Amino acid sequence: MSWRNNLAEDIADPIVAGALKHFKASVDAWSEAVYSPPRTVLETTRRTWRLAASWALGCLLAAGSLGGTLYDRHVRRESARIAAIKAAEQKAALEHKAAVQPVTATIVARRQPTAMKHAASENEDLLATVDSDVSRQVPAAMEPLAQMMVSDGAN
């Protein structure tokens, strides 16, 4: 028997045909019962969430980097300002010092002879006071000795 006759016979055979029909119906029923359709909604939701999360993360990173840059710039500017102020203060101090020094020297130089004179007169006065305080009328018995001292001083 050739395969052609065999096929024709099987289709003609009501038992085989019925069994194949039931078999197909059974497979269809089973497949329908356990078939789960593609979850496109879930996928869309996931995609939406992923998109939202990536946007949020992107914004956060952008804000962070921008904030960091601005903060860094601010800190640098502030440091530069403080450094400039310090430098200006130092410069001003140096300039002030340089301006003040010659004047002081002049004043000191001008004041020096006067002070010396003043000091000398003070010494003279002091000595005069000492002389007046210390000097006493010598007794009569010491008169010859006193005469000798005067004459020594005169010589």
Partner 1 sequence: MGLGVVNLRRMVTSIKSMAAGTAVKPMTADAADEIAAREFAIIVESHRRQIFRFLLASLRDVDLAETLTQECFLKAHRNWKHFRGDSSAMTWLMRIAINLQKDHWRNRRLQFWRHTQSNAVDVDEASDWLPNGERNAEQQILAKEQVAQVWKAVEGLSARQRTVFLLRYVEERELNEIARATGLSEGTVKAHLSRALGRVRAELRGKR
Question: Site residues (CB under 8 A) for partner 1?
Answer: 3-4, 6-7, 10, 13, 15-16, 18-20, 22-31, 33-38
Least Å from the CB of residue 58 to partner 1 = 22
Least Å from the CB of residue 51 to partner 1 = 17
Q: Of 2 and 137, which CB lies nearer to partner 1 in the complex structure? A: 2
Phi and psi for 138 in degrees, rounded to 5?
Answer: -70, 150
Q: In angstroms, rounded to a whole number, what is the distance separating the alpha carbons of residues 127 and 135?
A: 11
Least Å from the CB of residue 39 to partner 1 = 11
Least Å from the CB of residue 17 to partner 1 = 10
Question: In whole angstroms, what separates CA 48 from the centre of its chain?
Answer: 42
For 149, the 3-state DSSP assignment is: helix
Q: How is residue 7 annotated by DSSP?
A: H
Q: Of 16 and 116, which CB lies nearer to partner 1 in the complex structure? A: 16
Least Å from the CB of residue 10 to partner 1 = 5
Q: Of 29 and 116, which CB lies nearer to partner 1 in the complex structure? A: 29
Residue type for position 85: I
Q: Of 22 and 86, which CB lies nearer to partner 1 in the complex structure? A: 22
Is the separation of the CB atoms in 114 and 107 below 8 Å? Answer: no
Residue 115: name the closest of 105, 107, 103, 104 by CA. 107
Is the separation of the CB atoms in 146 and 138 below 8 Å? Answer: yes
Q: Of 25 and 84, which CB lies nearer to partner 1 in the complex structure? A: 25
